[in-house]
Amino acid sequence: MNTSDILVVGAGIFGTTAALELRRRGYAVTLIDPGPLPHPLAASTDISKVVRMEYGQDRQYMRMVDKAIDGFVAWNEELGETLYHNTGVLMLTQEPMEQVPYNWDSFRLLQAEGHAPERLDSAAIAQRFPAWNAQRYVGGFYSPRGGYAESGRIVSALQSLARREGVLLHEGQTADELLGTTGQVTGVRTREGTTFHADHVLVAAGAWTQLLLPELQPVMKATGHPVFHLKPNNPTLFTPPNFAVFTADVSRTGWYGFPFNPREGVVKVALHDPGNILHPEQGERVVYADEIAQLRGFLAETFPALADAELVYTRRCLYCDTLDEHFWIDRHPRRAGLSVSTGGSGHGFKFAPVLGGLAADVVEGKANPWLAKFAWRTLDAGTHGEEASRFHGDK
Ligand SMILES: Cc1cc2nc3c(=O)[nH]c(=O)nc-3n(C[C@H](O)[C@H](O)[C@H](O)COP(=O)(O)OP(=O)(O)OC[C@H]3O[C@@H](n4cnc5c(N)ncnc54)[C@H](O)[C@@H]3O)c2cc1C
């Protein structure tokens, strides 16, 4: 009989960090996922994710990432490998920064919070970061606190740690149906025919969550976003200190990326924009020719040395996109014994070291000032995305 105190459905970063934290709080925890792990289609499974404190005027997100960065540094120790790289973050604009609210607000809030972002003009950009077209990118700042996390490797290392600490991790199990009554959830039955019982079920199934909990379909959707890996002819130009994690006027273009990744031998570039709505299981996860043409256009006007670089890999990855782009971490309002931790909306991984604590506080019913933002809420067609760095399309 698969019985535990807490059953966590989904072993991406939201589920894995929750399972580990709940285990450390003394619960018997089971974690299930179709696998193999880390799941190749999971959003968390990637070579790198941006870790940035810059969220416009949003002080809570900035403070959460500030705390998360300390957590990533501690994981580098605990996991015995440097999987978080503090390259700093380059936030550049195509106009003087005062005219770009996302960058200007982030810059001033960083200063107000006691951080030391370094303002840059065209000459400084050309001198310090020679890969950039400093005729086009004329303003912005460099923030020395931030960088990238090797997300897939972190998930894998945390899962090994969770197993060692007694989390029962079942791969090859796909939750299909919640068990119990309408008012009380007591477990799940899987597509593979197994039944798992628990006092509390936490659903953290990323973009697939709405399939298991259809009542969430009106407030979240799965959206697909292209990712590109390029092989630079001159890796040094794209290696710190010549280069850093970057956003290229992201709130108005969507473009962002990473320095040369020595392990993978590539420079990764991606698009943080509206994306296209996809079914998590049936949707076409391909990158289209017009998106590659868009990429080439961006590279030619931004990184001349990368304009003709070989494109060695592309991927369409799914966001679990809430309508307001804030996470969804709360107990179910009508079903006891059920909670949800999801809604990463394309920006959740950087919070990994604090996500487990948030989900565990929800399961335990503990107060946490950061949870109000992620509570079960009413959203409708009139709701706008609020994530400050996101390009919401030409308005
Ligand atoms: C292209 C792209 C770029 C991104 N870049 C960044 C970035 O730079 N910085 C950042 O902070 N964030 C970024 N994100 C967001 C971040 O990756 C996500 O917010 C985060 O990884 C979501 O984690 P998750 O655990 O909710 O979902 P996932 O990682 O998708 O994991 C969900 C898991 O649930 C499992 N599952 C699904 N259905 C079931 C079921 N029925 N039963 C059991 N298990 C199930 C799946 O197999 C999967 O393993 C990006 C996302 C994408 C797609």
Residue 230 has pLDDT above 70, yes or no: yes
Residue 356 has pLDDT above 50, yes or no: yes
Looking from the CA of 62 toward its CB, the CA atoms found within 13 Å total 22
What is the pTM for the complete model shown?
Answer: 0.98
Task: Sketch out the chain's domains with CATH numbers.
Answer: 3-44+152-218+323-374 (3.50.50.60), 67-147+221-322 (3.30.9.10)
Average pLDDT over residues 116-143: 98
Residues 348/13, Cβ–Cβ less than 8 Å: yes
CA dist 85 → 88, 186, 187, 243, 336 (Å):
9, 41, 39, 13, 41
354 CB near ligand 1 (under 6 Å): no
What the block records as the tokens of 302 is 């931004």
Residue 1 has pLDDT above 80, yes or no: no
Q: What is the distance in A from the centroid of ligand 1 to the CA of 209?
A: 11
Residue 176 has pLDDT above 80, yes or no: yes
What the block records as the tokens of 263 is 């392990």
To test the pocket of ligand 1, the residue of 208, 271, 329 to mutate (highest count of ligand atoms within 8 Å of its CB) is: 208
Which is the closest atom of ligand 1 to the Cα of 349?
A: 11
30 CB near ligand 1 (under 6 Å): no
Which is the closest atom of ligand 1 to the Cα of 32?
A: 43
229 CB near ligand 1 (under 6 Å): no
Average pLDDT over residues 205-215: 98
What tens digit of pLDDT does each residue of 235-250 get?
A: 999 999 999 999 999 9
What tens digit of pLDDT does each residue of 299-340 get?
A: 999 999 999 999 999 999 999 999 999 999 999 999 999 999
Q: What is the distance in A from the centroid of ligand 1 to the CA of 319?
A: 7
Bridge partner residues of 33 (DSSP): 171
CA dihedral in degrees (308, 309, 310, 315; nearest 10)?
A: -100
State the pairing for strand pair 29-33/168-171.
Answer: parallel
The residue whose C-alpha atom lies closest to atom 21 belonging to ligand 1 is 44
pLDDT above 90 covers what percent of the chain?
97
Question: Which are the contacts of 263, defined by CB distance < 8 A and separation ≥ 6?
Answer: 47, 150
Backbone φ and ψ for 184, nearest 5 degrees, come out as: -140, 120
**Residue recorded with tokens 């503090």:** 86
Separation CA 85–CA 70 (nearest Å): 12
Residue 394 has pLDDT above 80, yes or no: no
Which is the closest atom of ligand 1 to the Cα of 45?
A: 29
- The reported pLDDT for the residue numbered 283 is 87
Which is the closest atom of ligand 1 to the Cα of 46?
A: 17
Which is the closest atom of ligand 1 to the Cα of 39?
A: 49
How many Cβ atoms from other residues are within 10 Å of residue 255's Cβ? Answer: 21
- The reported pLDDT for the residue numbered 395 is 46
What does the chain come to in residues? 395
Q: How confident is the model at residue 202 (pLDDT cuts 50, 70, 90)?
A: very high
Q: What is the distance in A from the centroid of ligand 1 to the CA of 233?
A: 32
